Amino acid sequence: MISFQVNEQIHIKPDISFGCLIMVDILQAAILGIVQGLTEWLPVSSSGHLAIIQLAMGLEVPVFFDLVLHIGTLAGVFAIYRKDIISIISTIIAILVTYLPFKNNFVRKYSINKCDVKMIRLIIIGMIPTGAIGIAFKSFFVYSFQDAVAIAIGFVVTGILVLVTKFLKSGNREPGDVDAILIGAGQGLSIFSSISRSGATLSIGMFRKLKIPILVKYSFLLSIPAILGASIFDIAASDRETLAQMYSIPIISYVVGILLSAIVGFISIKFLIHVINNESFYLFSFYCFAVGLVTYLFL
C-alpha cells in the first residue's frame, strides 16, 4: 500500500503533549518494520496495519519514517526482478542516447528491447491515474489514516476485491493500455489507508483476464515509481515541524526499520507469488474482513 500522507493536520510542539509519542525507539521501529514488510506486498494493506498499530499504541510516526519503511520494502522488488529492472534501465538509456549528436562504443552497448519498451509505456500509462487520484483526493486520504471507521471500511473493500478473484477464471491476455489505466487507478485508490495496493492491482488484472506471471511482474514494477514518487512528494511537502520530528528519531531506529522491512518484504513477495500460483489468493479476503471487523469494534 502506497501513502501520499502529508502530516499537515496535526501540529505539535516538542514541549506539548497530546498523548502521542513522537519518538520511535528500536522496539517500535522493529515492530513497524516487520509489519510493513509483511503486509506491503500481501493483499492486506500495509498502511492500514501501520495505522492500526499507531492508533493502538498512541504512537504518531512522522511521515518520513513511513516513507523509509516503504522504500525498504522496495528492496524485495529490486532483488526479485533485478534482471527485468536492469534491462528496462538499459532500454531507457538506449532510447535516450539515440538523440545524442554522437555515438561511441559506450553508447552502442545499450540496445532497445521491444518488450521493455512496451513495459515502460504501460508503467507510464499506469502512473497517470495513480498520480491524478493521489493529488486530487490527498486530503481525504490523509483523513483515512486517522479514522478507525474509515480504516475498517478500507479493509472490507480490499476483502471484497480479493474474494471476487475466487470466481474468476485464469486469463491468457497480454496487458494493454486500457489494462494499465485500470490497474493504475486501482493503485491510486490504494492510497486510502487500508485499501491494499496489491489487492487492488492484482484483482483488477485478474478480472481483465491477464496472464498471471506478467500481471504480477507489472504490478510490482508499477509500484517502484509510485512509491518513489510518493516519497519525493511527501518530503517536498514537509514543513519545518515535520522535519524536526523526523530528526527526533534515532538513526538506529531508521536502520532497524528499513532492514526488517526489506528482509520481511522479500519473503512476503516470494510467499505471495507462491499463493497466486496455487490459486489461493482469495483466502486473504477472510483475513481482511476479520481485521476490518476488529478495527471497527475495538478502535
With beta carbons less than 8 A apart as the criterion, state whether 247 and 19 touch. no
Residues 55, 14: Cα–Cα separation, whole Å? 20
Within 8 A by CB and 6+ apart from 253, the residues are 24, 25, 26, 28, 29, 65
> Grid coordinates representing 155?
479493509
Tell me the whole-structure pTM to 2 decimals. 0.85
Per-residue pLDDT of the chain (299 residues; tens, 9 = 90+): 444 444 433 333 333 333 344 568 899 899 999 999 999 999 998 888 888 888 787 777 777 788 889 889 999 999 999 999 999 999 998 888 877 665 555 555 667 889 999 999 999 999 999 999 988 987 778 777 778 899 999 999 999 999 999 999 889 999 999 999 999 999 999 888 889 999 999 999 999 999 999 999 999 999 999 988 888 877 777 777 777 777 888 899 999 999 999 999 999 999 999 999 999 999 999 999 999 999 999 87
**β-bridge mates for residue 32, sequence order:** none
CA distances for 67 relative to 73, 149, 279, angstroms: 10, 24, 32
With beta carbons less than 8 A apart as the criterion, state whether 80 and 221 touch. no
Q: What integer pLDDT is reported at residue 14 of this predicted model? A: 36
The DSSP secondary structure of 253-295, one letter per residue, reads: HHHHHHHHHHHHHHHHHHHHHHHHHTT-GGGHHHHHHHHHHHH
